[in-house]
Amino acid sequence: MSATNNDAERSAFITVGTTRFDALVETVSTLEFLNAVHRNGFTRLTIQHGRSPIPLIPPGSPIRVITYDFKPDLNADYQSAALVISHAGAGSILEGLALGKPLLVVVNRGLMDNHQLELATAMARQGVLIWTDVENLTTSIDKGGWENLHRLEESDPTIFIDILKEEAGFPLKR
């Protein structure tokens, strides 16, 4: 999966969907994270922060940062991104995968009965995304590897649905 972008700017898009994920929004707003993103060739970062507080971008950010809470349609942000960094909600994961975008998924370990971790781990085993947690996000940016991911269609396209059914407790029909 290619992480190239046709725009003059190389953009990363961060989404928390319709929820709150304060720890993720706070982490991606730090100078340490912004420097890591810049080191990896990105010049623009778009943060969709959902119900989390508006992120405060520190002075001296080496990249241009755009923030917003919600939009009716995130498609343009997904399309323009060379990398999507997403919370581990099933809808956001599916949207990124459907568009064929390199996907770095951040699991919220603070959730009870963490189905996010199970879903992200299962999808990572298929080689279609990389997952991390907030504490290791900056390290994951420096580690990279998203250029080696493959599109969902290149693996078994039904795997995502099967994993969701299994996590929800529905019987799998083959």
- Domain extent listing, the chain: 11-168
Q: Which CATH superfamily is domain 11-168 in?
A: Glycogen Phosphorylase B; (3.40.50.2000)
Nearest by Cα to 145 from 128, 120, 123: 128
- Read off the pTM: 0.86
> What average pLDDT does range 138-166 have in this prediction?
78
CB atoms within 10 A of CB 71: 10
Going from the C-alpha of 78 to that of each of 47, 100, 117, the distances in angstroms are 11, 10, 22
The angle formed by the CA atoms of residues 80, 86 and 88, to the nearest 5 degrees, is 150
Residue 166 has pLDDT above 90, yes or no: no
Cα 92 to Cα 87: distance, rounded to the nearest angstrom: 7
114 in Cβ contact with 85 (< 8 Å): no
Residue 144, token pair as written in the block: 């990279």
154 in Cβ contact with 97 (< 8 Å): no
123 in Cβ contact with 163 (< 8 Å): yes
22/168: higher pLDDT: 22
pLDDT at 6: 46
Cα 26 to Cα 3: distance, rounded to the nearest angstrom: 25
Which residues, 6 or more positions from 155, have their beta carbon under 8 angstroms from its beta carbon?
126, 127, 128
72-113, pLDDT tens digit by residue?
Answer: 999 999 999 999 999 999 889 989 998 999 999 999 988 867
17 in Cβ contact with 50 (< 8 Å): yes
